[in-house]
């Protein structure tokens, strides 16, 4: 052990009925470092983190905290030891104010709890984090990004030694991510160790002191700051340099007619590519996460700035904005449909009709009759269950919400 390891994992194994999620992971998290954790889906990142925070017990192996073996049987025990985590779905009490959430379980004052004292202290915490948020707002009214940041504020108070952030920027804008990075700097200055799980290589390069790449339940390498390059990470992640885009055309529905022609499509993250898709064809695109493949769909849907030319049925079309893309006949179903494509508290009928509202309106009025019959028709065609268009979207199963 190097002298400044805060946590040392020794030969950790975890077996779920039949699957070995971790096959002997040894790894050190140093005091005050930001340690990136990378790996393809299924590599074992979440399992590792859940063992560290007491959600799972390891099948074999040891965890040393400050040099001493510890047994972390459940999350409260992890908290007591100073090991905290922010998972992707931030948890706050929606009926409480921001201030109450931040101080929950750590309220100042011994007898009774002063509402004012709580909010005064919460304001100080937000201030020290450089966050400008109204502490009296109800948590339920916050945006997803604000929730995420307030969740971090709840950790600030509890004097953790190690904090795990699981894809914290997944829902943050560039500006909000900068705020987050500032907060991480603040944690670092207090000597807190951060384990940072992200699919975004640039972030890892920017904020991590070291990064460990997991592959198939094993550590395939730990890189120092300067060594975290795309090629190196890809090599450790997928065991080969740079996957190639490849096309595969053999389907019974594929017609002998080029429908989409893309030439020189490029974005900030994507070197120019060309491809064609025939009518009726399903084209799969694969590659390392963060290597630019995500931008292809987003560029075609008009969400991401891009250059290059796009032709549909031989005609050049504009996909510069989501609306232009829609008009051209390109629809985008984004990765996080609940956040990016649906309004959870509107009904199914209202969601289904959003893209065609213009055609359903008469004399500037949208009448419920046509909305319902259009939505019923769509649900019938796509065999959506439950077949009730008046239900709010948030009550629908995740897999179903992909269909409209």
Structure tokens at 302: 């008009």
Residue 285 CB, nearest approach to Mg ion (Å): 22
Binding test (CB under 6 A) with ligand ADP, winner from 7, 25, 43, 228:
43
Q: Restricting to residues 145-164, name those near Mg ion by CB under 5 A.
A: none
CA atoms of 272 and 264, how far apart (whole Å): 4
Does 198 interact with Mg ion (rule: CB under 5 A)?
no
Choose from ligand ADP, Mg ion, none: what does 171 bind? Cβ within 5-8 Å by kind. none
CB count in 10 Å sphere of residue 198? 23
To 5 degrees, how large is the angle CA 153–CA 158–CA 159? 110
Does 244 interact with ligand ADP (rule: CB under 6 A)?
no
Give the interface segment with ligand ADP, choosing from 36-44, 171-179, 311-319, 335-343 (CB under 6 A). Answer: 36-44
List the 60-65 sheet strands across, edge first. Answer: 19-30, 5-16, 60-65, 68-70
Residue 199 CB, nearest approach to ligand ADP (Å): 10
CB count in 10 Å sphere of residue 309? 12
Nearer to ligand ADP, 2 or 41 (CB): 41
Helices (H) and strands (E) counted in the chain, each on its own, are 14, 16
Q: Residues of 71-95 as b/e, b for ≥16 C-beta within 10 angstroms?
A: ebeeeeebbebbbbbbbeebebeee
Does 44 interact with ligand ADP (rule: CB under 6 A)?
yes
Q: Restricting to residues 38-57, name those near Mg ion by CB under 5 A.
A: 46
Residue 287 CB, nearest approach to Mg ion (Å): 19
Nearer to ligand ADP, 42 or 308 (CB): 42
Nearer to ligand ADP, 39 or 301 (CB): 39
Closest CA to 249 of 276, 209, 289, 219: 276
Does 19 interact with ligand ADP (rule: CB under 6 A)?
yes
Does 47 interact with ligand ADP (rule: CB under 6 A)?
yes
Does 45 interact with ligand ADP (rule: CB under 6 A)?
yes
Answer positive or negative: Cα dihedral of 245, 247, 248, 252.
Answer: positive
Q: Beta strand pairing status for 210-215 and 34-38? A: parallel
Measured CA distances, 94 to 86, 98, 140, 157 (Å): 17, 9, 4, 19
Phi, psi of 113 (to 5 degrees): -125, 120
Choose from ligand ADP, Mg ion, none: what does 90 bind? Cβ within 5-8 Å by kind. none
Looking at the chain, how many residues does it have?
404
Residue 29 CB, nearest approach to ligand ADP (Å): 17
Nearer to Mg ion, 228 or 289 (CB): 289
Chain-centre distance of CA 79, in angstroms? 24
Choose from Mg ion, ligand ADP, none: what does 237 bind? Cβ within 5-8 Å by kind. none
Nearer to ligand ADP, 44 or 58 (CB): 44
Nearer to Mg ion, 46 or 220 (CB): 46
359's enclosing H/E stretch is helix 357-360
For the purposes of burial, counting CB atoms within 10 Å of the CB of 306, is it exposed (0-12), middle (13-18) or buried (19 or more)? buried
Give the interface segment with ligand ADP, choosing from 45-53, 223-231, 281-289, 299-307 (CB under 6 A). Answer: 45-53
Give the interface segment with ligand ADP, choosing from 34-42, 202-210, 276-284, 384-392 (CB under 6 A). Answer: 34-42
To 5 degrees, how large is the angle CA 142–CA 90–CA 384? 90
Nearer to ligand ADP, 126 or 233 (CB): 233
Residue 263 CB, nearest approach to ligand ADP (Å): 35
Does 21 interact with ligand ADP (rule: CB under 6 A)?
yes
Q: Restricting to residues 355-374, name those near ligand ADP by CB under 6 A.
A: none
* Contact status, residue 152 vs residue 86, Cβ threshold 8 Å: yes
Choose from ligand ADP, Mg ion, none: what does 21 bind? Cβ within 5-8 Å by kind. ligand ADP
Contacts to Mg ion by CB under 5 A = 46
Contacts to ligand ADP by CB under 6 A = 16, 19, 21, 39, 41-47
């Amino acid at each position: 052990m190097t002298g400044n390891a805060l946590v040392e994992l020794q030969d950790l194994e975890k077996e779920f009925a039949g699957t070995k999620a971790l096959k002997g992971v040894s790894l050190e998290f140093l005091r005050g470092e930001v340690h990136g954790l990378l790996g393809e889906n299924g590599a074992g990142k979440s399992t590792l983190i859940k063992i560290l925070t007491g959600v799972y017990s390891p099948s074999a192996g040891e965890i040393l905290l400050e040099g001493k073996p510890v047994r972390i049987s459940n999350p409260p025990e992890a908290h007591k030891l100073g090991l905290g985590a922010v998972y992707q779905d931030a948890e706050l009490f929606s009926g409480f104010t921001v201030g109450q959430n931040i101080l929950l379980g750590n309220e100042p004052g011994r007898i009774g709890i002063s509402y004012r004292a709580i909010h005064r202290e919460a304001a100080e915490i937000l201030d020290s984090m450089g966050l400008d948020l109204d502490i009296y707002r109800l948590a339920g009214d916050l945006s997803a990004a604000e929730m995420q940041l307030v969740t971090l504020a709840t950790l600030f108070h509890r004097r953790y030694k190690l904090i795990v952030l699981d894809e914290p920027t997944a829902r943050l804008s560039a500006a909000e991510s900068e705020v987050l990075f500032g907060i991480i700097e603040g944690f670092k200055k207090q000597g807190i160790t951060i384990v940072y799980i992200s699919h975004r290589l640039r972030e890892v390069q920017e904020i991590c002191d070291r990064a460990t790449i997991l592959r198939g339940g094993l550590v395939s390498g730990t890189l120092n700051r300067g060594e975290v390059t795309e090629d190196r990470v890809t090599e450790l992640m997928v065991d080969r340099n740079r996957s190639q885009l490849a096309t595969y055309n053999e389907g019974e529905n594929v017609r002998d007619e080029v429908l989409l022609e893309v030439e020189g499509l490029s974005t900030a993250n994507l070197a120019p590519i060309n491809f064609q898709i025939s009518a009726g064809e399903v084209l799969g695109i694969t590659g390392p996460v963060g290597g630019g493949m995500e931008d292809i769909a987003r560029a075609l849907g008009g969400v991401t700035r891009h250059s290059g030319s796009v032709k549909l049925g031989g005609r050049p079309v504009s996909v510069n904005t989501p609306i232009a893309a829609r008009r051209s006949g390109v629809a985008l179903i984004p990765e996080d449909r609940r956040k990016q494509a649906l309004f959870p508290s509107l009904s199914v009928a209202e969601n289904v009709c959003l893209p065609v509202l213009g055609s359903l309106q008469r004399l500037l009025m949208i009448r419920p009759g046509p909305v319902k019959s259009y939505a019923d028709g769509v649900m019938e065609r796509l065999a959506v269950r439950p077949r009730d268009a008046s239900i709010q979207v948030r009550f629908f199963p995740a897999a179903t919400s992909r269909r409209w």
